[in-house]
Structure 1
């Protein structure tokens, strides 16, 4: 691999770490109902775990409720079972045609716990990016030892990897701050 390939590899892997954080944050409950809250929910659909949005329409008629309308009436009980088994902490109300989820208002204590969880997820994403930096630096050092790049190229490459890390850490902080603010305002 060449120096530009090392950098591209680092950037691709850091972007994946950032995407994982973004998806985790999307699924977190704020004070407002969103269909994204159910993105991680899997329903047993003919023996295979399937995302709920592939077996039903998910909508939010108002800020405190979610309505799930299955494409097939057969999957209503499976969706209800998946919601009860999930960590959402919501009680599904099944009327035979749709499932309604009502989000109770969050207490100040719950909001603080959620913000702490957001901070932890952000820190995990940063640690993943730092590990990617370590791998990138090692690639540059190995290439220099193998005489495929010069010492100067190694140092420049390491500096670019560090800049990449700084930019992703800033993105991670920004996403976590926005979500924390959203949770506290709810």
Structure 2
């Protein structure tokens, strides 16, 4: 019985950590004014009929604070990369000079910064919902164990542990969102 309880708590902890990890990866994709190659993560290029991540067909580098350069390993990949960037709807126009693609990141307007903050808060809210769903599943599993013979006191203690774990991870989500918001709003 105790082993099952520990397994439930460990699974909940692991799942909550994964939710935080997912939030962190999503927040790196939100542009904060300075060039960051990670804003191109998730863009796939048509590479000889196969959808391939951009970073597997080209070298992505930061030229300066507001410029990304994309150097394809094969010259014939310039057009597909350019099309993929335009189709990804990240708000950047690729400049193709026949050898390299440059992405110039314009300075963010106040309105655009507020849009990005809303997006960050939306990602944070999704992470909180995921964490609360993990809490709900863990508490349901604990109640099922209680029906199978786990003592009521042990079940209540385990539920309190799950709630404490949930609160800790919700605070982490808030901290991540707050940090990203400060980064976006900094001029």
TM-score by length of 1: 0.95
Instruction: Kindly report the root-mean-square deviation, in angstroms, between the aligned alpha carbons of the 2 structures.
Output: 1.1
Picking from 22, 26, 30, the partner of 1:24 is 26
Give the match for residue 117 of structure 1. Answer: 119
Picking from 25, 40, 46, the partner of 1:38 is 40
Query: Is 1:81–2:83 an aligned residue pair?
Result: yes
Separation in structure 1 between the aligned mates of residue 156 and residue 49 of structure 2, nearest angstrom: 53
Give the match for residue 58 of structure 2. Answer: 56
Task: Output one character per residue of 1:107-162: Cα deviation in whole Å (capped at 9) or x when no partner.
Answer: 00110111111111101110110011000000000011011x22122111111111
Give the match for residue 184 of structure 2. Answer: 183
Separation in structure 2 between the aligned mates of residue 72 and residue 169 of structure 1, nearest angstrom: 45
Give the match for residue 3 of structure 1. Answer: 5
Give the match for residue 163 of structure 2. Answer: 162
Separation in structure 1 between the aligned mates of residue 89 and residue 30 of structure 2, nearest angstrom: 10
Separation in structure 1 between the aligned mates of residue 83 and residue 171 of structure 2, nearest angstrom: 39
Report which stretch shifted further, 5-14 or 39-48.
Answer: 39-48
Separation in structure 2 between the aligned mates of residue 179 and residue 122 of structure 1, nearest angstrom: 11
- The runs of 5 or more residues in structure 2 that have no matched partner are none
Separation in structure 1 between the aligned mates of residue 128 and residue 66 of structure 2, nearest angstrom: 32
TM-score by length of 2: 0.95
Equivalent pairs, count: 185
SS of residue paired to 2:42: coil
Task: Output one character per residue of 1:76-133: Cα deviation in whole Å (capped at 9) or x when no partner.
Answer: 2111110010121111011111100001111001101111111111011101100110
Residue 43 (structure 1) shift: 1.2
Give the match for residue 129 of structure 2. Answer: 127
Residue 46 (structure 1) shift: 2.3
Residue 47 (structure 1) shift: 2.1
Report which stretch shifted further, 9-18 or 55-64.
Answer: 9-18
Give the match for residue 90 of structure 1. Answer: 92
